[in-house]
Structure 1
């Protein structure tokens, strides 16, 4: 179940960058780049801790980690930009659109209908953008 192996001599930052690209792809890189002019140190922390330390741990595969993340962000109800990044990440690590929709709907039980609605609308945007991008690649 281990998804990331630490290379000998690999720093937290290097391990985190590798995980960020694999999980979040361009969406994650855009978040980090957007912090460069205001808080470059925070961008480094964002790579090192969540991705270099937590996501790189054995015990859960990336699918399971994204299920938990999508559920948590949906339950928060007010973090649409981060939720969209992680819906995209869920698709990147093998979750289907139907699975993501079910994860978000499940949160209506624990976080309420408004949080689930916000999550579903975020997913709808990500799915539409991804479909448009896929069509552009084919054309």
Structure 2
């Protein structure tokens, strides 16, 4: 019997469960705002990246978050998402030193402006977590 495609509702539930594992409170808050403006975009944002891709086997959450942080730094156009994923990387066991090393390595591949912006975003996250006692 062939496998059936998961329904959007199943993908959404799987995506929310993955976000919860990742400590994605900042993403969940951001999605809440999007839910008011465009419920479809908010749903797709949970279903596809978190329900379909980030919940796949093969990489642990630490590795996925390191890759995501590096990609967002290289992109240089997603500061809100970068801060959210730095926060989630710390939440799944990455250290501040590891985040800094990823950012320094991105200077080679994405350029110094991207790395400097990434370090500024990281500092914002580190400071906010320190104030919150996390």
The answer to whether the 8 A contact 1:15-1:51 is kept is: yes
**TM-score, length-normalised on structure 1?**
0.87
What is the distance in 2 between the residues matched to 1:22 and 1:91? Answer: 12
The alpha-carbon deviation at position 77 of structure 1 amounts to: 1.5
- Structure 2, unmatched stretches of 5+, are 1-8
- After TM superposition, the runs of 4+ consecutive aligned structure 1 residues lying more than 4 A away are none
CA root-mean-square deviation? 1.2
**TM-score, length-normalised on structure 2?**
0.90
What is the distance in 2 between the residues matched to 1:104 and 1:30? Answer: 25
Secondary structure (helix, strand or coil) at the match of 1:78 reads coil
- Structure 1, unmatched stretches of 5+, are 1-9
What is the distance in 1 between the residues matched to 2:62 and 2:17? Answer: 17
Which deviates more, 99-108 or 19-28? Answer: 19-28
Q: Report the counterpart of residue 119 of structure 2 in structure 1.
A: 120
The alpha-carbon deviation at position 98 of structure 1 amounts to: 0.2
Q: How many residue pairs were aligned? A: 126
